[in-house]
Amino acid sequence: MPPIHSRGAGVRRAAWFWVAGFSSLWVLGLGMPGGGVSGIGPAAVVAGPLEGNTNYEVSRRTATVQAIERVRPSVVSISSEKRSSSPNRWPFSAEENAKARVSGMGTGVIIDARGYILTNQHVVDRVTGIEVQLSNGVVLPARVIQQDKINDLALLKVEPSTPLTPIVLGTSSDLMVGEDVITIGNAYGYEETVSRGIISALGRNVTLSDDQVYRNLIQTDACINPGNSGGPLINIHGELIGINVAVRAGAQCIGFALPIDDVKQILAEMISTRRLASTWHGLVAEERFLEQARRVVLSAVRAGSPAERSGFRPGDLVMKAGDLEVRTPIDIERAMLDVRPGTPVPVVVLREGRRVAIDLTTAPLPRTVEAVNAELDSDAVVWRILGLRTVPVGAEQVAAVSPKLRGGLYVREVRPNSPAARSNIAPGDVLIGLNVGSRHWETIRADNILFVLDQKTREMVGPDDDGIVFYLIRRNLMQQGVLRLTETDRRAAAARR
């Protein structure tokens, strides 16, 4: 990808895209006549440590080594693809799979054990088929659940089989020029590449384009390369102090990162129950430095909220929420995720020098109660009849396959021996359309599936039924299959009418 230059300062984002089948490797100072790669000369013979000398091993385990070991399980590599546009008006055409593919890569950090991952928005902008590789080599499909283009941040979700290791969030409020920092990332596709440097400057403002201006950046001489976007900048204690975002084109050792204190404010909103579950609790929290420690203080309690009814007060120091020690406002939102409205979560606050335990609940947002209930009902029926659990995704998540699509349904779970399982639909697929006869429907919500099932069961088909044709996205390609219903499945579909 050619450098993206800013006005008067060549700055490019540290993400890498290439046309499928073609890539380039930049080797600096390593070329040899005849195409070989050479070292600097014959290996010198040096005396090593005596076998079993544990003191020697301890002395090599520096603070840098320990910080890297602590953070590595929390760093992921991200790969994705884009597709060129097609002139065909019907998105489920063969032409869609014939378009040129453009691949990309980036890095992300795990911020919750249930599979929430933070990266740069430009890493996943208008891409499809996002895959995340964990530090243990496991590859999982991912979906974008929140995006903030102005601040260049995106929140991804994967469905891990075991809990992941979230990164420890530090602070950027006390950073020092000259302080040691470390980057870990998917540089040029080399996963978990580690680089060390110092903080070169603070408070940098960088203009990438008329639409993208970065402010208050951390400048570092630690190597940030294409593929490092969205990855961590950590301090010597292994705490996240920045998200790598850009490099100076044509320069050496001039990279930039978003300061973590700015990121935390945005992330707390992106992962909030209001954004992800259409519920609210009413706590407004902020991070302050009190008594030589970072504390989370309630700056406000919303009037009429569940938090106000539970007895929370402005000025309370939040110590614990559920099973989480609260170190940032993000931890409050993490504790409330996946909690059904009305279910109490124990919260411990420090009030006037003593600990007080209060139960916190969430409630549906007042304007969306009916919509949330209808969506839950549709999801339950689709699970019962077809064995599918899905989550809606927006047009931006499928536009790379076809810009004509308005969205789709990301498959989270498939019940064994269900109609979906028998039709080879798998977790990670994105269901984008259904076809009955000559009629085509997009699947943007679960009730779209139920509508098509209604149309099918009204046809009173017999044993020779040719099924329902479905279209889905799998590994960056649009695929077609047939969903066949047994007589029992048809009766279940008909019974809901």
**From first to last of its 497 residues, what are the pLDDT tens digits of the chain?**
334 344 444 565 655 444 333 333 332 233 333 444 434 444 444 455 556 666 666 678 899 999 999 999 999 999 987 655 555 545 555 555 555 555 678 999 999 999 999 999 999 987 877 899 999 999 999 989 998 888 899 999 999 999 999 999 999 999 999 999 999 999 888 889 999 999 999 999 988 776 778 889 999 999 888 889 999 999 999 999 999 998 877 667 889 999 999 999 899 999 999 888 888 999 999 998 887 788 999 988 988 899 999 999 999 999 999 999 999 999 999 999 989 999 999 999 999 989 999 999 999 887 544 454 555 577 888 888 899 988 888 887 777 777 778 888 999 889 998 899 999 999 988 999 888 766 778 888 888 888 888 766 655 444 445 688 899 988 777 888 988 877 666 665 555 54
Distance CA 130, CA 367 (A): 33
* Burial classification of residue 350, based on how many CB atoms lie within 10 Å of its CB (0-12 exposed, 13-18 middle, 19 or more buried): middle
CA 301, 302, 307, 310 torsion: positive or negative? Answer: positive
Torsion of CA 310, 311, 314, 317, to 10 degrees: -80
Please give the pLDDT value at position 379: 81
Q: What burial class does residue 106 get, using C-beta atoms within 10 Å of its C-beta: 0-12 exposed, 13-18 middle, 19+ buried?
A: buried
Burial class (CB in 10 A: 0-12, 13-18, 19+), 342: exposed
Domains of the chain, start order:
1-21+58-260 (2.40.10.120), 279-364 (2.30.42.10), 368-495 (2.30.42.10)
Secondary structure tally for the chain: helices H, strands E: 10, 29
In this prediction, residue 177 carries a pLDDT of 96
Angle (nearest 5°) at CA 22 between 85 and 427 = 60
pTM over 0.85: no
Q: Which residue, among 220, 257, 221, 224, has the nearest Cα to 241 in the 3D structure?
A: 257
Please give the torsion angle defined by the CA atoms of residues 122, 115, 448 and 395, in that order, rounded to the nearest 10 degrees: 0
Backbone dihedral region for residue 460 (phi beyond 0: left; psi -120 to 50: alpha; all else: beta): left
- Residue whose token pair is 């403002």: 205
C-alpha span between 454 and 497 (Å, rounded):
7
Pairing of the two strands 240-248 and 255-259? antiparallel
As annotated, the active-site residues are 122, 152, 229
Q: Residue 246: name the closest of 233, 236, 237 by CA.
A: 233
What percent of the chain is helix, strand and coil (3-state, nearest 5)?
A: 20, 40, 40
Which residue's entry shows tokens 């007895």?
A: 311
**CA triple 392-398-403, angle to 5 deg:** 130
What DSSP line would sit under 394-412, residue for residue? Answer: EGGGTTTT-TT--EEEEEE
Residues 334, 332: Cα–Cα separation, whole Å: 5
Decide: 90 and 403 in contact? Cβ < 8 Å.
no
Report the distance separating Cα 429 and Cα 47, nearest Å. Answer: 56
Amino acid making up residue 89: R
Question: 35: Cβ–Cβ under 8 A, 6 or more apart, which residues?
Answer: none
How far is the C-alpha of 260 from the C-alpha of 275, rounded, in Å? 21
